[in-house]
Amino acid sequence: MPFVQVSIVEGFSEEEQRRLLTALTDAVVTSLEIPEQKVAVVLHKVPADAWAAGGVPVSELQAPAQ
């Protein structure tokens, strides 16, 4: 059984998360030619202040410019 783990920054809507989970499942099903019931996907939501890009916390990158 394939097991996919994905981390994203918190803040995506439930609909966006659902689309991601579905797309990941579909990609594994297509790639491995297995039933979707055999694919497990876990979505880890990380707080924006605990994720950095280029050494800058995403919470700062998402803040509106002043």
Tell me how many domains the chain contains.
1
For the question of residue 2 being annotated catalytic, the response is: yes
What's the rounded Cα separation, in Å, for the pair 64 and 51?
17
pTM of this structure: 0.84
Which of these is catalytic: 2, 35, 57, 64?
Answer: 2
> For residues 4 and 39, is the Cβ–Cβ distance under 8 A?
yes
Query: CATH code at 45?
Result: 3.30.429.10
- Residue 47 is part of which domain span? 3-62
pLDDT tens-digit map of 8-49: 999 999 999 999 999 999 999 999 999 999 999 999 999 999
Residue 62 has pLDDT above 90, yes or no: no
Residue 65 has pLDDT above 60, yes or no: no
Q: Residue type for 56, please?
A: V
